[in-house]
Amino acid sequence: MSPAPKRRPAGPREPGLFAATAGAQPLAARMRPRTLEEYVGQAHLLSPGKPLREEIASGRVSSMVLWGPPGTGKTTLARLIAQYTDRAFVPFSAVTEGVPRVREIIAEAEDRLDGQGKGTILFADEIHRLNTAQQDAFLPHVEAGTITLVGATTENPSFEINGALLSRVRVFVLQPLTAADLQLVLRSATTDRDRGLGAMGLNVDEGAIGFVAEEADGDARRALTVLDAAAKHVGDGGHITRDVAREALQLRVARYDKGREENYNMLSAYHKSLRGSDPQAALYWMARMIHGGEDPMTIFRRAIAMAAEDVGLADPEALKLAVAARDAYHMLGAPEGYLPLAEMTIYLATAPKSNSSKAALAAALELAARHPSEPVPLHIRNAPTKLMKELGYNKGYQYAHDSPDAYIPQEYLPDRLVGEELYTPGTFGFEKEIAKRLAWWEERKRRALGGQGAPKQDDTKPE
């Protein structure tokens, strides 16, 4: 990352702010960056000229929420903000602390501001876990400037932070670290003799560094934890190979939370891959959800909806196959039931696509909303009683099967809506046949109702 702008002098650090107490701490904690120059990644926020970098350099930061996946430097950045702006750093855990602790922090912050003229960074880790009342407790103190709130969250603030608080903070999005970023972090840890593993005299293969960087999913904490485990395994002067790193990594846990945004992101990716006719991507997102512990019924529900919405009448078999695959999973269970799930996924992704049914539904609902009271034409009303027959119910109705072609031209829409077209067939798959049928029926109706006589005997009815 580019060198930091010249920062204003920082006051004395809070005790233990960046303490590296011997080897008792995990490697990830010991290697926590102490300056912006050591901070790796997030160039879109911290490169020279970027707003957040300029605010930190000037010492005029406002309340914010740092949103990003684990191991991207949210806590470190909050600590650096406190250090560079000469403010006290006070951590607050949304998991173990509540409103009484907030009141204590606010009282201390007021005393600090009045007595020392020094501001306070209140760092709310996992702020998304706070309920509405707890979040509201911050509001007056954020507005009064008693504290500068820095929240950290792995969840979408739009869903997890109430609107009143969200309107008073800026949201900065932290990205997963790239493999190149993680390689820098790992190499630094292997050579740093004071805080890292440099004193162990390790021989670390570049292949091992690259492997860990790729497998860490953008998470610096995970990468350093794997490196630390590998170092302990081989001991002083040991050799860390790719195989050793793989053993240290053991089983990767995919980043997936069934109750949070990532769940909906992957379902969306799966649906869009099916719609976009990409079976490779659809299978990947399907497998990611299976590995993450998703209920297969959730995947089936999305696929069945997709079959109706995006394949539709271009291939009517798609909806039947999707429902059958769901039923087969119920019968087989896992893991055999994953086979019909995969078969369905491939079929839907490679089927011809049409959203004509969805468009027709929307058009029909809109037309019904505009014309909610149109009477049913008399000739297609039911007439179960003598009075109804006397009133003309069902009079003039022509039974379609009285014709060899099972079609007799007549109007079925209310008079005011005659001519409305809600469904337009697509141009792929089975809908090409539907289009032929509609055209044939329309021509018969035009001739019959337009006074041009019945169609010729050699008119061929579509299949």
Instruction: Annotate 67-96 with DSSP letters as a single string.
Output: E--TTSSHHHHHHHHHHHTT-EEEEEETTT
Rounded to the nearest 10 degrees, the angle between the axes of helix 51-58 and helix 74-84 is: 40
Picking from 114, 137, 131, the residue whose alpha carbon sits closest to that of residue 122 is 137
Least confident of 269-278, 313-322, 380-389: 380-389
For residues 412 and 377, what is the distance between their CA atoms, to the nearest angstrom?
Answer: 7
What is the mean pLDDT of the segment spanning 139-153?
Answer: 87
ω into 335 cis (within 30 of 0): yes
Report whether pLDDT(16) > 50: no
pLDDT for the residue 452: 47
Over residues 317-328, mean pLDDT:
94
Q: In CATH, what class is 375-449?
A: mainly alpha
Domain ranges of the chain: 22-173, 179-249, 261-350, 375-449
453: Cβ contacts below 8 Å, ≥ 6 apart: 447
What pLDDT does 459 receive? 59
How far is C-alpha 169 from the geometric centre of its chain's CA atoms? 22
pLDDT given at position 21: 41
Mean pLDDT (the chain) is 84
Domain 22-173, architecture per CATH: 3-Layer(aba) Sandwich (3.40)
Q: Alpha-carbon dihedral of residues 234, 237, 242, 247, nearest 10 degrees?
A: 10
Instruction: Catalogue the long-range contacts made by 184-190 (C-beta closer than 8 Å, 24 or more residues apart).
Output: 184/40, 185/31, 185/40, 185/220, 185/223, 185/224, 186/212, 186/213, 186/223, 186/224, 186/227, 188/31, 189/27, 189/31, 189/224, 189/227, 190/227
Q: Which has the closest alpha carbon to 421: 355, 366, 383?
A: 366
State pTM to two decimals.
0.58
Domains 179-249 and 261-350 share a fold: no
User: What is the helix (H) or strand (E) element at residue 336, kind and residue range?
Assistant: none
Give pLDDT tens digits for 225-241. Answer: 999 989 988 899 999 99
pLDDT at 154: 85
Query: Pick from 218, 169, 222: which is nearest to 160 by CA?
Result: 169
Beta strands 64-67 and 170-173, pairing class: parallel
Taking CA atoms, 405 is separated from 344, 397, 455, in Å, by 36, 17, 12
Where b means 16+ CB within 10 Å and e means fewer, 364-384 reads: eeeeeeeeeeeeebeeeeebe
Looking at residue 213, what DSSP letter applies? Answer: H
SS3 category, 200: helix
**Phi and psi for 33 in degrees, rounded to 5?**
-55, 140
- Kindly state the average pLDDT of the residues 194-207: 92
Q: Read off the pLDDT of residues 364-405 as tens digits, 9 standing for 90 and up.
A: 999 999 998 888 888 888 888 888 888 888 888 888 888 888
The residues, ordered by sequence, that sit 6+ positions from 42 with a Cβ below 8 Å of its Cβ are 72, 73, 77, 174, 175
Instruction: Give the pLDDT band of residue 60 (cuts 50, 70, 90).
Output: confident
Report d(CA 275, CA 282) in Å as an integer. 9
Two tokens, residue 249: 């990594």
- CATH class, 179-249 region: mainly alpha
Please tell us whether the domain made up of 261-350 is placed in CATH 1.20.272.10.
Answer: yes
